[in-house]
Chain A
Amino acid sequence: QQQVKQSPQSLIVQKGGISIINCAYENTAFDYFPWYQQFPGKGPALLIAIRPDVSEKKEGRFTISFNKSAKQFSLHIMDSQPGDSATYFCAASTASKLTFGTGTRLQVTL
């Protein structure tokens, strides 16, 4: 099965707080897990990505946690800022074909 499940559908976080978005997958053939950020009227922009041989990857305020046995991965945005307000998509790839989650609309309030 190619489905990637993403939650929550929407998220409101205060400025300075931590935003957490979760994804789960079924297909064990997936071997690359990127996260994309999309602003209205724009295409998705690659934020950070991880491979299944790594349990955590951090780039600036963005961290991916990966649990291979549970087939779950999550995005943590530390010190969330109003400029982070966007839609976030997790994705999973096999043979370079990306399967996207359903998206999370993040709003960071002042």
Chain B
Amino acid sequence: SAVISQKPSRDICQRGTSLTIQCQVDSQVTMMFWYRQQPGQSLTLIATANQGSEATYESGFVIDKFPISRPNLTFSTLTVSNMSPEDSSIYLCSVGTGLNQPQHFGDGTRLSIL
């Protein structure tokens, strides 16, 4: 399966600031997704990162708060904007090769907001 690298692996940020998380894949993939996992909880899909067009956001997530870029088939970024303590979570990138094909996850970015 694809090797997925996320940067940073963890960060501690101040309230009101923004952080951009990078997801790099070692091969071209059709689909890239961003998930949030709150401590000890399950995963929730934030959005589908679409190459060359605006991301598709799930209910409860908006572009102003979580802008996403996907300039090519191997790279995507998620920005968490104007952060508050409620944004403290693990943010995970996943990739898939096609419709309802296996999705594989990176190790995530552990984000704490003070």
Contacts and interface: CB of A to CB of B under 8 A. Distances in A.
Interface of A: 31-32, 34, 36, 41-46, 49, 51, 89, 93-103
Interface of B: 1, 4, 31, 33, 35, 41-45, 48, 58, 92, 94, 96, 98-108
Contact of A44 (B41, B43, B44, B100): B43
A103 B42 contact: yes
5 contacts: A31-B100, A41-B107, A43-B106, A51-B100, A96-B98
A36 B105 CA distance: 10
A46 B104 contact: yes
B102 A46 contact: yes
A102 B43 CA distance: 8
A80 B4 CA distance: 29
A77 B108 CA distance: 26
Contacts of A93: 100
A89 B107 contact: no
Contact of A43 (B41, B45, B105): B105
A89 B42 contact: yes
